[in-house]
């Protein structure tokens, strides 16, 4: 075993690797950028080397500086984590040449699996089933379109060098092909430096099921079962679980053997993931002549007929998609069902030890689910968000059965989610004896995850977990769009409770302030001997009035809203250990309120919501702000403008493309008008709120 390693990454994965290293008595060297100088991963390591500026190219991607840091600190090996340099074969080579062990596969395996098109050619030779498609080197657009016709629409255009869900375009019909190809190529050249694409049949009702493989330097290779990562948005994973619901033991074994065959074909070493796309068909007769048992698939028959299992409904066919030659974000799901530490396995294999277990010694226990908690706004097409974690409370893992709840993160309260890196805040991993139990624990653990200061998907994840499709394990990559009606713009607590919570917290805060007397406030008055106080809220985009009456005996009565929809009743609140207990309108709820300026973030077991309390005294006479400016919704880079000065535009027309946090965002016209001026040029870096285009309304 090594005595010291350098972790060439940041965030939760750097923390994750450091934790295992510490447990094994291996010393750790962190690297960081200027903005990460005081990050959690730095605090968890024994030493740190600052690499430079915030942008990855000025720090985490500076591989010569990383190798120099490893040598200067006496590290024997480099763990690349995921992302950044983890799948960079030149970096892996440079480590080896500098006398350092790269904790990952040989560079030849990274290279072989690095390009989707080339790796598919290799897998075809190894007899691994492929999605019908074109993965040749001829990139003539006319030929590509002809191939799409041959494959049959809908098709998926993929950047061969792509990753992280980027550089993919689904095309439904021939008329859309050219435009989709152009936009795919543009994203591909910008993100990956190559615009080579491949074309695949767009699989219907697809499930993403991947196999964790592990190989050592002694010729051993095993699979550590599967993970179902079908719940996705923008082709990126949202929830991952193991085992995959409905996967038969036979199909698990076939996929496992195919994955090990794929790894062996490139002389793989270490942890890797072979991603398969699984087609689900209801009618077993739809594909006649399919072999019932296909063990390790070997060439011969039609690729899409290899590796399918009939008998059980629905029929599932699996096809190789790509191999990720690194530890995966969702590896904790596999750790939860196998009871193993995959980072420990990585370190053992990299230091030359054989795999700790053989295939027939590996077992699965229970069910595990991971939820990715991200800084993003699900109600605005998952637009990534930045900000400071003013409140960041996690579920108390010790309050659950041992190992049932795990939180992996790289941030602490007060840390900032910056625009420089990806938007993942934390991973929540739950385990249960059954899927049902894991689901129930996930729901409770999400309810106990409180974040204020950064837009996030916690509430959205709860809606997904409770959606009929997810609860019943009807998984496929269209789950989120299919369940849209119950996932987006949902209000779990309701106006009455939210207002009651905000009022109660306000009263509590006032009681804490010595000398504050509610009866002397200028927003109150006396009526029939009672003291009445006025509140105004903004909730769900609507302004709402509320009145609080203080009776002689001190009892409170609250009215929320006006006219027929008004809700009136006694308000009772008291302080509990974790927050407040509020009784109003027939509900008694334990909740917690965190203020961010005038916004009350209300967290309760049923869900979380926000309500803005307008300070009537401070806001008297303030003018409404003017809207309609075309500004950057987040810090990022201007990719392109679709218009020029003088152009007339229609409402909703795409004006510009902005790239930030691994995603492209289209800026659309808020109304009809004429472009007066473009205020930036493509390639410019812009701050959040920067005005991009001057538009004269029609
Ligand atoms: P996983 O493959 O484990 O699901 P994701 O694909 O969601 O993880 O995100 C992590 C991976 O995304 C990284 O390992 C890397 O391969 C890829 N990735 C990270 N950053 C980028 C980026 N800026 N552009 C394209 N791909 C990226
Ligand atoms: P990346 O390198 O970005 O992870 P993948 O090739 O692994 O790209 O594909 C990412 C996701 O896109 C898959 O998990 C799946 O949801 C979807 N996808 C990929 N290929 C297909 C296909 N042929 N048909 C339908 N969906 C697909
Ligand atoms: Mg993938």
Q: Of the bound ligands, which one is closest to the alpha carbon of residue 187?
A: 1
Q: Of the bound ligands, which one is closest to the alpha carbon of residue 86?
A: 1
Domain match, 345 and 277 both: yes
Backbone angles phi, psi at 305, to 5 degrees: -100, -10
Domain match, 460 and 575 both: no
Q: How far is the CA of 328 from the centre of ligand 1 (A)?
A: 9
Q: Which residues have their alpha-adjacent CB atom under 5 A from ion ligand 3? A: 275
Last residue in a domain, options 489, 505, 528 = 489
pLDDT digits (tens, 9 = 90+) for 544-569: 999 999 988 889 999 999 889 999 99
Can you give the pLDDT at residue 552?
83
Residue nearest to atom 5 of ligand 1 (CA): 164
Strand 405-409 versus strand 450-452 pairing type = unpaired
Residue nearest to atom 12 of ligand 2 (CA): 235
The gap from C-alpha 687 to its chain's centroid, in whole angstroms, comes to 23
CA distance 480 to 208: 14
Query: Which three-class secondary structure state does DSSP give residue 196?
Result: coil
Last residue in a domain, options 332, 365, 398 = 365
Residue nearest to atom 23 of ligand 1 (CA): 662
Can you give the pLDDT at residue 520?
67
Q: Longest C-alpha distance within the chain, in Å?
A: 92
Alpha-carbon torsion 264, 267, 273, 277, what sign?
A: negative
**Helix and strand counts by DSSP (H, E) for the chain:** 18, 41
Query: Which three-class secondary structure state does DSSP give residue 478?
Result: coil
Note whether residue 597 is domain-resident.
yes
User: Which strand (E) or helix (H) includes residue 294?
Assistant: none
CATH number of the structural domain spanning residue 213: 3.30.470.20
Q: How far is the CA of 84 from the centre of ligand 1 (A)?
A: 9
Domain match, 339 and 415 both: no
Domain match, 503 and 483 both: no
Mutate to test the pocket of ligand 2, among 477, 478, 663, 664 (most ligand atoms within 8 A of CB): 477
Q: Of all atoms in ligand 2, which is nearest to the CA of residue 166?
A: 3
In sequence order, the β-bridge partners of residue 450 are 393
Domain match, 218 and 314 both: yes
CA distance 159 to 180: 12
Cis peptide before 154 (omega within 30 of 0): yes
Can you give the pLDDT at residue 695?
85
CATH number of the structural domain spanning residue 45: 3.40.50.20
The finding on whether 166 has its CB within 6 A of some atom of ligand 1 is yes
Can you give the pLDDT at residue 306?
41
CATH number of the structural domain spanning residue 178: 3.30.1490.20
Backbone angles phi, psi at 625, to 5 degrees: -75, 150
Domain match, 469 and 539 both: no
Can you give the pLDDT at residue 522?
64
Note whether residue 454 is domain-resident.
yes
Q: How far is the CA of 275 from the centre of ligand 2 (A)?
A: 9
The finding on whether 164 has its CB within 6 A of some atom of ligand 1 is yes
Last residue in a domain, options 145, 176, 201 = 201
User: Which strand (E) or helix (H) includes residue 486?
Assistant: helix 484-487
Can you give the pLDDT at residue 617?
61
Residue nearest to atom 23 of ligand 2 (CA): 202
CA distance 176 to 164: 24
Q: Of all atoms in ligand 2, which is nearest to the CA of residue 477?
A: 16
User: Which strand (E) or helix (H) includes residue 446?
Assistant: helix 435-447
Note whether residue 288 is domain-resident.
yes
Name residues whose C-beta falls within 8 Å of residue 386's C-beta, 6 or more positions apart in sequence: 375, 416, 417, 418, 419, 454, 634, 635, 661, 688
Mutate to test the pocket of ligand 1, among 9, 17, 83 (most ligand atoms within 8 A of CB): 83
Low-confidence stretches of the chain (pLDDT < 70) are: 283-313, 514-516, 520-523, 527-528, 617-629, 662-663
Alpha-carbon torsion 584, 589, 594, 599, what sign?
A: negative
Can you give the pLDDT at residue 482?
96
Nearest Cα to 604, choosing from 642, 576, 632, 634?
Answer: 576
Note whether residue 122 is domain-resident.
no
Q: How far is the CA of 190 from the centre of ligand 1 (A)?
A: 15
The finding on whether 208 has its CB within 6 A of some atom of ligand 1 is no
Q: How far is the CA of 115 from the centre of ligand 2 (A)?
A: 14
Note whether residue 680 is domain-resident.
yes
Domain match, 564 and 463 both: no
CA distance 439 to 292: 33
Place of tokens 């609250």: 558
Cis peptide before 314 (omega within 30 of 0): yes
Mutate to test the pocket of ligand 2, among 155, 157, 168 (most ligand atoms within 8 A of CB): 168
Nearest Cα to 129, choosing from 275, 323, 306?
Answer: 306
Q: Of the bound ligands, which one is closest to the alpha carbon of residue 321?
A: 2
Domain match, 303 and 358 both: yes
Q: Of all atoms in ligand 1, which is nearest to the CA of residue 328?
A: 3
Name residues whose C-beta falls within 8 Å of residue 553's C-beta, 6 or more positions apart in sequence: none
Strands (E), 336-435: 367-374, 376-377, 383-384, 387-388, 391-393, 405-409, 416-417, 424-432
Q: Of all atoms in ligand 2, which is nearest to the CA of residue 116?
A: 6
Domain match, 91 and 162 both: no
Backbone angles phi, psi at 452, to 5 degrees: -130, 135
Task: Give CA separation, 506 vs 498, 552, 618, in Å.
Answer: 12, 20, 15
Helices (H), 126-176: 141-151
Residue nearest to atom 15 of ligand 1 (CA): 83
Backbone angles phi, psi at 429, to 5 degrees: -120, 125
User: Which strand (E) or helix (H) includes residue 257?
Assistant: helix 249-265
Note whether residue 110 is domain-resident.
no
Report the domain count for the chain.
6
Residue nearest to atom 16 of ligand 1 (CA): 83
Catalytic residues, by residue number, are 326
Q: Of all atoms in ligand 1, which is nearest to the CA of residue 167?
A: 25
* Residues having CB within 6 Å of any atom of ligand 2: 131, 156, 158, 162-165, 168, 200-203, 206, 208, 232, 235, 275, 277, 321-322, 477
Domain match, 320 and 446 both: no
Burial class (CB in 10 A: 0-12, 13-18, 19+), 225: buried
CA dihedral 453, 455, 459, 461 (to 10 degrees): -130
Domain match, 470 and 501 both: no
Q: Quickly list DSSP for 304-355.
A: GGTTEE-SSSSEEEEEEEEEE-S--TTHHHHHHHH---HHHHHHHHHTTPPP
The finding on whether 662 has its CB within 6 A of some atom of ligand 1 is yes
User: Which strand (E) or helix (H) includes residue 299?
Assistant: none
CATH number of the structural domain spanning residue 499: 3.30.700
Nearest Cα to 354, choosing from 217, 260, 213?
Answer: 217
CATH number of the structural domain spanning residue 641: 2.40.50.100
Q: How many CA atoms lie within 13 A of 115 on its CB side?
A: 18
Task: Give CA separation, 61 vs 54, 55, 74, in Å.
Answer: 11, 9, 20
The finding on whether 83 has its CB within 6 A of some atom of ligand 1 is yes
Q: How far is the CA of 10 from the centre of ligand 1 (A)?
A: 14
Note whether residue 482 is domain-resident.
yes
Note whether residue 127 is domain-resident.
no
Tokens representing residue 30 in the block: 């962190």
Domain match, 283 and 229 both: yes
Residue nearest to atom 2 of ligand 2 (CA): 163
Q: Of all atoms in ligand 1, which is nearest to the CA of residue 82?
A: 14
Q: How far is the CA of 625 from the centre of ligand 3 (A)?
A: 44
User: What domain range is 220 assigned to?
Assistant: 206-365
CA distance 166 to 159: 8
Q: How far is the CA of 164 from the centre of ligand 3 (A)?
A: 7
Q: How far is the CA of 84 from the centre of ligand 2 (A)?
A: 20
Q: Of all atoms in ligand 2, which is nearest to the CA of residue 237?
A: 14
Q: How many residues does the chain have?
A: 698
Neighbours of 299 (CB within 10 A): 11
pLDDT digits (tens, 9 = 90+) for 98-148: 999 999 999 999 999 998 999 999 999 999 999 999 999 999 999 999 999
């Amino acid at each position: 075993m090594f005595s010291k390693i350098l972790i060439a990454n940041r965030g939760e994965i750097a923390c994750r690797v450091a934790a295992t290293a510490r447990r094994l008595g291996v010393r750790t060297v962190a690297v960081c950028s200027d903005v990460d100088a005081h990050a959690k991963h730095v605090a968890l390591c024994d030493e740190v080397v600052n690499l430079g500026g915030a942008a990855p190219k000025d720090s985490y991607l500076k591989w010569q500086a990383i190798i120099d840091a490893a040598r200067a600190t006496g590290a024997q090996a480099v763990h690349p984590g995921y992302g950044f340099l983890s799948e960079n074969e030149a970096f892996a080579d440079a480590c080896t040449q500098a006398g350092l062990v790269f904790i990952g596969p040989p560079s030849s395996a990274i290279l072989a699996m690095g390009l989707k098109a080339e790796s598919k050619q290799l897998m075809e030779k190894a007899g691994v089933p492929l999605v019908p498609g074109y993965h040749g080197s001829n990139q003539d657009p006319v030929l590509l379109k002809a191939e799409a016709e041959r494959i049959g629409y809908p098709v998926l255009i993929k950047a061969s060098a792509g990753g992280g869900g980027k550089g993919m375009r689904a095309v439904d019909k021939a008329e859309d092909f050219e435009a989709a190809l152009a936009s795919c190529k543009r994203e591909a050249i910008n993100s990956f430096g190559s615009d080579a694409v491949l074309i695949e049949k767009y699989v219907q009702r697809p499930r993403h099921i991947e196999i964790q493989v592990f190989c050592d330097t002694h010729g051993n290779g095993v699979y550590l079962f599967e993970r179902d990562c079908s719940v996705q948005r923008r082709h990126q994973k949202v929830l991952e679980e193991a085992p995959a619901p409905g996967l038969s033991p036979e199909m698990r074994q076939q996929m496992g053997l195919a994955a090990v065959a794929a790894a062996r074909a490139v002389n793989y070493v270490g942890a890797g993931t072979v991603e398969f796309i699984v087609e689900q068909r209801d009618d077993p007769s739809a594909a006649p002549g399919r072999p019932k048992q296909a063990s390790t698939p070997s060439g011969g028959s039609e690729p899409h007929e290899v590796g399918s299992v009939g008998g059980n409904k629905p029929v599932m066919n699996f096809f190789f998609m790509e191999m990720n030659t690194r530890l995966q974000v969702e590896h904790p799901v596999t750790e939860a069902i196998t009871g193993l530490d995959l980072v420990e396995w990585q370190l053992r294999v990299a230091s030359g030890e054989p795999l700790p277990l053989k295939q027939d010694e590996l077992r699965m226990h229970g069910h595990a689910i991971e939820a990715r908690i991200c800084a993003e706004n699900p109600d605005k097409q998952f637009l990534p968000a930045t900000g400071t974690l003013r409140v960041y409370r996690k579920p108390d893992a010790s309050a659950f059965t041992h190992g049932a709840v795990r939180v992996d993160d790289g941030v602490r309260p007060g840390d900032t989610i910056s625009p420089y890196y990806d938007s993942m805040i934390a991973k929540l991993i739950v385990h249960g004896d059954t899927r049902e139990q894991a689901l129930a624990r996930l729901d409770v653990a999400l309810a106990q995850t409180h974040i204020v200061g950064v837009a996030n998907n916690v509430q959205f994840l709860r809606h997904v977990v409770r959606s009929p499709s997810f609860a019943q394990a009807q998984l496929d990559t269209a789950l989120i769009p299919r369940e849209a009606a119950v996932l987006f713009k949902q209000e779990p607590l309701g106006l009455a409770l939210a207002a009651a919570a905000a009022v109660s917290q306000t009263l509590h805060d006032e009681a804490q302030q010595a000398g504050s007397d509610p009866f002397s406030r200028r927003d109150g008055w006396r009526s029939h001997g009672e003291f009445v106080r006025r509140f105004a809220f903004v909730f769900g985009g609507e302004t709402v009035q509320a009145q609080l009456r203080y009776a002689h005996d001190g009892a409170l009565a609250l009215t929320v809203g006006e006219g027929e929809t008004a809700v009136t009743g006694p308000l009772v609140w008291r302080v509990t250990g974790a927050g407040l207990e509020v009784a109003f309108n027939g509900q008694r709820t334990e909740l917690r309120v965190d203020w961010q300026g005038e916004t009350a973030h209300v967290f309760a077991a049923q869900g979380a919501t926000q309500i803005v309390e307008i300070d009537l005294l401070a806001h008297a006479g303030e003018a409404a702000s003017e809207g309609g400016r075309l500004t950057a919704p987040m810090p990022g880079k201007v990719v392109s403008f679709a218009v020029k000065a003088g152009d007339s535009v229609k409402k909703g027309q795409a004006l510009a493309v902005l790239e930030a946090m691994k995603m492209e965002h289209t800026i659309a016209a808020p109304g009809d008008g004429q472009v007066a001026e473009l205020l930036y040029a493509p390639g410019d870096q812009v701050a959040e709120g920067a005005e991009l285009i001057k538009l004269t309304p029609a």
